[in-house]
Structure 1
Amino acid sequence: MLNDVDRRILRLLQADPAITVPDLAHETGLTSARITRRLDRLREDRIIQGSHVTIHWPALGYAVSVSLRITLDKTVARAFDEFIAAARAVPEVIEIQTFLGRVDVRLSLIAKNLSDYQRIYREEVLTLPHIADIEALMTVASVKSDESLPL
């Protein structure tokens, strides 16, 4: 499993995903070759699963963020699969989560403004298959958004 050095590497990567191998080596007291081997092992073990860029949507003109809690019609055998496939095709949907319980799916979507959201809702969301119930929650403020783990 993970040892203290692996955890330190992961903490450093969480704090600065663009940190270079030489800088990781300096911060951990290891050689660049040893850091590279550890990173390769962490990737092979799927502890590190790639890297990504986080885009600040408001800077691109997306001022509205909405969370849609959706209950599907469970009388249709393939309702879940067909709904998910159709929801993936909506460009403004930036996240899809599934749940056990009364709510089956949560869609997070972005829009440029309220009229753009209304268009997306009417033309894209309401045409998704097998919706039995839908509840929209408009984001007022994002208080915490952090995927870092307490390593």
Structure 2
Amino acid sequence: MQIDDTDRRILRQMMAEPGLPTAELAERAGVTTPTCWRRIERLREGGVIRGEEAVIDWPALGWEVEVSLRFTLDKTNPRAFDEFIAAAREVPEVLEIQSFLGSTDMRLQVIARDMAHYQEIYRNRILTLPHIAELDALMLISTIKSSAELPV
């Protein structure tokens, strides 16, 4: 899908402040409200805008521990990836599942209320995932930058 400068202005404003009403977004992007609405719909239909989501502040809700778990899978079983992913999807505390090329096959982003809760998740849900050959845990200390914004 081709996008022009007007689309880029709209996208920049949406990324900067996702909750803007269409009228204000249009004003900031320098277009009329109907034009802005039509452009947004076209960007959605074209797959450029895939959706809008709430960004949750997990610590504000009492989820204080965040851990990135990196896995190397036992690839002797041809279904190792599919079975691992299916089982990982069943763990409610897993926020994100990613697959990689390289020495790490999979990464899970896991949250817990506290260290005792994390230890329970780790022992009862993570270590029981199928086909784990190696596992490395990285505990989040602080987030320096977190942004989905790119220059458009």
| TM-score when normalising by structure 1 | 0.97
Gaps of 5+ in 2: none
CA change 1:144–1:29 in 2 (3 A) is: closer
For 1:60 and 1:123, the matched residues in 2 are separated by 23
For 2:146 and 2:29, the matched residues in 1 are separated by 28
Match of 1:118 in 2: 119
Number of residues of Structure 1 aligned to a counterpart in Structure 2: 151
Match of 1:47 in 2: 48
Overall identity of the aligned pairs, in %:
54
1:74-118 deviation digits (Å, cap 9, x = unpaired): 000100000001001100000111001111000010011111111
Gaps of 5+ in 1: none
Opposite residue 71 of structure 2, the aligned amino acid is I
| TM-score when normalising by structure 2 | 0.96
Match of 1:32 in 2: 33
| Post-superposition offset of 1:28 | 2.8
1:11-44 deviation digits (Å, cap 9, x = unpaired): 0000111111111222233221111111111001
Moved over 4 A (4+): none
Cα RMSD between the aligned structures?
A: 0.8
Task: Give SS of 1:46's match.
Answer: coil
Task: Give SS of 2:43's match.
Answer: helix
Match of 1:103 in 2: 104
Opposite residue 137 of structure 1, the aligned amino acid is L
- Judge conservation of contact 2:10–2:26 (CA < 8 Å) in 1: no
For 1:34 and 1:40, the matched residues in 2 are separated by 10
For 1:34 and 1:62, the matched residues in 2 are separated by 42
